[in-house]
Amino acid sequence: MANDEVILLDFWASMFGMRLRIALAEKEIKYEYKEEEGLITNKSSLLLEMNPIHKKVPVLIHNGKPICESIIGVEYIEEVWKDKAPLLPSDPYEKAQARFWADYVDKKLYVSSRKIWGTKGEEQEAGKKDFIEVLKVLEGELGEKPYFGGDYFGFVDIALIGFYSWFYAYETYGNFSTEAECPKFVAWAKRCMQRDSVAKSLPNQHKVLEFIQMLRQKFGIE
Protein backbone atom coordinates (compact mmCIF):
# COMPACT_ATOMS: atom_id res chain seq x y z
CA MET A 1 0.00 0.00 0.00
CA ALA A 2 2.93 2.25 -0.80
CA ASN A 3 0.85 4.58 -2.98
CA ASP A 4 -1.84 5.18 -0.37
CA GLU A 5 -2.84 8.75 0.40
CA VAL A 6 -3.33 9.14 4.14
CA ILE A 7 -4.43 12.43 5.70
CA LEU A 8 -5.17 13.13 9.36
CA LEU A 9 -7.48 16.02 10.25
CA ASP A 10 -6.64 16.76 13.84
CA PHE A 11 -6.17 19.33 16.60
CA TRP A 12 -2.93 19.34 18.55
CA ALA A 13 -4.53 19.08 22.01
CA SER A 14 -7.03 16.32 21.15
CA MET A 15 -6.33 13.19 23.18
CA PHE A 16 -8.50 11.39 20.63
CA GLY A 17 -6.36 12.59 17.74
CA MET A 18 -3.29 11.44 19.65
CA ARG A 19 -4.59 7.88 19.34
CA LEU A 20 -4.39 8.01 15.57
CA ARG A 21 -1.01 9.76 15.60
CA ILE A 22 0.40 7.00 17.81
CA ALA A 23 -1.18 4.17 15.81
CA LEU A 24 0.15 5.59 12.52
CA ALA A 25 3.59 6.01 14.08
CA GLU A 26 3.60 2.46 15.44
CA LYS A 27 2.78 1.18 11.95
CA GLU A 28 5.33 3.59 10.39
CA ILE A 29 2.71 4.95 8.00
CA LYS A 30 3.53 8.21 6.26
CA TYR A 31 0.66 10.69 6.27
CA GLU A 32 -0.20 14.35 5.84
CA TYR A 33 -1.16 16.10 9.06
CA LYS A 34 -3.72 18.88 8.74
CA GLU A 35 -4.25 20.99 11.85
CA GLU A 36 -7.77 22.27 12.43
CA GLU A 37 -6.61 25.65 13.73
CA GLY A 38 -10.12 27.09 13.89
CA LEU A 39 -11.66 24.04 15.55
CA ILE A 40 -13.34 26.04 18.32
CA THR A 41 -14.76 28.86 16.18
CA ASN A 42 -14.29 28.20 12.46
CA LYS A 43 -14.18 24.59 11.28
CA SER A 44 -12.65 23.96 7.88
CA SER A 45 -14.73 23.05 4.85
CA LEU A 46 -12.73 19.82 4.56
CA LEU A 47 -13.67 18.79 8.12
CA LEU A 48 -17.34 19.57 7.49
CA GLU A 49 -17.21 17.59 4.25
CA MET A 50 -15.42 14.59 5.75
CA ASN A 51 -17.33 14.44 9.04
CA PRO A 52 -20.73 16.06 8.36
CA ILE A 53 -22.47 14.20 11.20
CA HIS A 54 -20.30 15.09 14.22
CA LYS A 55 -18.13 17.84 12.67
CA LYS A 56 -15.29 16.80 15.00
CA VAL A 57 -11.67 15.72 14.78
CA PRO A 58 -9.93 13.42 14.38
CA VAL A 59 -10.78 12.23 10.89
CA LEU A 60 -8.55 9.74 9.12
CA ILE A 61 -8.80 10.10 5.33
CA HIS A 62 -7.53 7.08 3.38
CA ASN A 63 -7.51 7.48 -0.39
CA GLY A 64 -10.23 10.09 -0.15
CA LYS A 65 -12.50 8.10 2.17
CA PRO A 66 -13.09 9.40 5.73
CA ILE A 67 -12.96 7.25 8.85
CA CYS A 68 -14.46 9.09 11.83
CA GLU A 69 -14.19 8.41 15.57
CA SER A 70 -10.75 7.73 17.00
CA ILE A 71 -11.19 4.15 18.27
CA ILE A 72 -12.77 3.13 14.98
CA GLY A 73 -9.82 4.78 13.25
CA VAL A 74 -7.28 2.83 15.29
CA GLU A 75 -9.06 -0.44 14.45
CA TYR A 76 -9.11 0.56 10.78
CA ILE A 77 -5.37 1.23 10.84
CA GLU A 78 -4.85 -2.18 12.44
CA GLU A 79 -6.94 -3.96 9.79
CA VAL A 80 -5.49 -2.18 6.76
CA TRP A 81 -1.82 -2.26 7.82
CA LYS A 82 -1.87 -5.58 9.69
CA ASP A 83 1.62 -6.66 8.62
CA LYS A 84 3.48 -4.46 11.13
CA ALA A 85 3.28 -3.81 14.89
CA PRO A 86 -0.02 -5.52 15.81
CA LEU A 87 -2.15 -3.29 18.04
CA LEU A 88 -4.87 -5.81 18.91
CA PRO A 89 -4.38 -9.39 20.13
CA SER A 90 -5.27 -12.20 17.72
CA ASP A 91 -7.27 -14.15 20.30
CA PRO A 92 -10.99 -13.24 20.00
CA TYR A 93 -11.57 -13.08 23.76
CA GLU A 94 -8.49 -10.94 24.41
CA LYS A 95 -9.50 -8.70 21.52
CA ALA A 96 -12.98 -8.29 23.04
CA GLN A 97 -11.43 -7.42 26.41
CA ALA A 98 -9.22 -4.77 24.81
CA ARG A 99 -12.26 -3.22 23.14
CA PHE A 100 -14.13 -3.28 26.47
CA TRP A 101 -11.42 -1.31 28.26
CA ALA A 102 -11.04 1.20 25.43
CA ASP A 103 -14.80 1.75 25.62
CA TYR A 104 -14.52 2.14 29.40
CA VAL A 105 -11.94 4.89 28.92
CA ASP A 106 -14.24 6.77 26.55
CA LYS A 107 -17.34 6.41 28.71
CA LYS A 108 -15.83 6.94 32.15
CA LEU A 109 -12.50 8.77 32.03
CA TYR A 110 -13.37 11.49 29.53
CA VAL A 111 -16.59 12.53 31.30
CA SER A 112 -15.02 12.76 34.76
CA SER A 113 -11.84 14.46 33.54
CA ARG A 114 -13.83 17.14 31.71
CA LYS A 115 -15.61 18.05 34.96
CA ILE A 116 -12.25 18.72 36.61
CA TRP A 117 -11.26 21.50 34.21
CA GLY A 118 -14.69 22.46 32.87
CA THR A 119 -16.63 23.10 36.09
CA LYS A 120 -16.28 24.59 39.57
CA GLY A 121 -17.34 23.83 43.12
CA GLU A 122 -19.25 20.67 43.96
CA GLU A 123 -19.46 19.45 40.37
CA GLN A 124 -15.70 19.77 40.02
CA GLU A 125 -15.12 17.89 43.28
CA ALA A 126 -17.46 15.12 42.14
CA GLY A 127 -15.60 14.93 38.85
CA LYS A 128 -12.26 14.64 40.65
CA LYS A 129 -13.58 11.86 42.88
CA ASP A 130 -14.94 9.95 39.87
CA PHE A 131 -11.72 10.51 37.91
CA ILE A 132 -9.53 9.03 40.64
CA GLU A 133 -11.92 6.07 41.06
CA VAL A 134 -11.75 5.37 37.31
CA LEU A 135 -7.95 5.53 37.41
CA LYS A 136 -7.92 3.05 40.28
CA VAL A 137 -10.12 0.65 38.29
CA LEU A 138 -7.74 0.96 35.34
CA GLU A 139 -4.78 0.49 37.66
CA GLY A 140 -6.39 -2.71 38.92
CA GLU A 141 -6.80 -3.99 35.37
CA LEU A 142 -3.17 -3.11 34.60
CA GLY A 143 -1.98 -5.06 37.65
CA GLU A 144 1.71 -5.91 37.45
CA LYS A 145 1.78 -5.95 33.64
CA PRO A 146 4.02 -3.43 31.85
CA TYR A 147 1.18 -2.62 29.42
CA PHE A 148 -2.57 -3.25 29.42
CA GLY A 149 -2.19 -5.97 26.81
CA GLY A 150 0.66 -7.65 28.70
CA ASP A 151 4.24 -7.38 27.51
CA TYR A 152 3.35 -5.42 24.38
CA PHE A 153 2.15 -1.86 23.88
CA GLY A 154 -1.23 -1.98 22.17
CA PHE A 155 -4.86 -0.97 21.76
CA VAL A 156 -5.82 -0.01 25.33
CA ASP A 157 -2.53 1.81 25.89
CA ILE A 158 -3.17 3.84 22.73
CA ALA A 159 -6.75 4.59 23.81
CA LEU A 160 -5.60 5.87 27.20
CA ILE A 161 -2.16 7.47 27.02
CA GLY A 162 -3.28 10.68 25.28
CA PHE A 163 -5.11 11.72 28.45
CA TYR A 164 -1.75 11.82 30.23
CA SER A 165 -0.84 15.04 28.40
CA TRP A 166 -3.78 16.69 30.19
CA PHE A 167 -2.89 15.38 33.65
CA TYR A 168 -0.93 18.46 34.72
CA ALA A 169 -4.02 20.57 34.00
CA TYR A 170 -6.30 18.13 35.83
CA GLU A 171 -4.02 18.23 38.85
CA THR A 172 -3.73 22.02 38.72
CA TYR A 173 -7.48 22.61 38.73
CA GLY A 174 -8.38 19.59 40.85
CA ASN A 175 -5.60 20.19 43.40
CA PHE A 176 -4.44 16.58 43.66
CA SER A 177 -1.50 14.36 42.72
CA THR A 178 -2.14 11.47 40.35
CA GLU A 179 1.13 9.85 41.36
CA ALA A 180 0.17 9.93 45.04
CA GLU A 181 -3.26 8.43 44.28
CA CYS A 182 -2.29 5.95 41.53
CA PRO A 183 1.48 5.36 41.41
CA LYS A 184 1.28 2.26 39.19
CA PHE A 185 -0.79 4.16 36.65
CA VAL A 186 1.77 6.97 36.47
CA ALA A 187 4.59 4.43 36.16
CA TRP A 188 2.73 2.91 33.19
CA ALA A 189 2.31 6.35 31.61
CA LYS A 190 6.01 7.12 31.99
CA ARG A 191 6.82 3.75 30.44
CA CYS A 192 4.63 4.60 27.45
CA MET A 193 6.28 8.01 27.13
CA GLN A 194 9.60 6.27 26.50
CA ARG A 195 8.26 5.12 23.13
CA ASP A 196 8.98 7.45 20.21
CA SER A 197 5.47 6.96 18.85
CA VAL A 198 4.01 8.34 22.09
CA ALA A 199 6.60 10.98 22.96
CA LYS A 200 6.31 12.57 19.51
CA SER A 201 2.50 12.44 19.47
CA LEU A 202 1.70 13.99 22.86
CA PRO A 203 1.97 17.77 23.40
CA ASN A 204 3.73 19.49 26.28
CA GLN A 205 1.59 19.37 29.44
CA HIS A 206 2.20 23.06 30.22
CA LYS A 207 1.00 24.01 26.74
CA VAL A 208 -2.17 22.00 27.36
CA LEU A 209 -2.71 23.87 30.64
CA GLU A 210 -2.46 27.21 28.79
CA PHE A 211 -5.02 25.95 26.27
CA ILE A 212 -7.42 24.92 29.06
CA GLN A 213 -7.00 28.29 30.76
CA MET A 214 -8.14 29.88 27.51
CA LEU A 215 -11.12 27.52 27.30
CA ARG A 216 -12.17 28.27 30.88
CA GLN A 217 -12.09 31.99 30.16
CA LYS A 218 -13.99 31.50 26.90
CA PHE A 219 -16.71 29.46 28.62
CA GLY A 220 -16.90 31.87 31.57
CA ILE A 221 -15.70 29.33 34.14
CA GLU A 222 -13.07 31.69 35.53
User: What are residue 35's phi and psi, to 5 degrees?
Assistant: -80, 130
* Mean pLDDT to the nearest integer, 44-51: 95
Helix/strand number for the chain, H first, E second: 12, 4
pLDDT on residue 1 = 57
Higher pLDDT, 208 or 42: 208
Percent of the chain scoring above 70 in pLDDT? 98
Q: Are 179 and 173 in contact (CB under 8 A)?
A: no
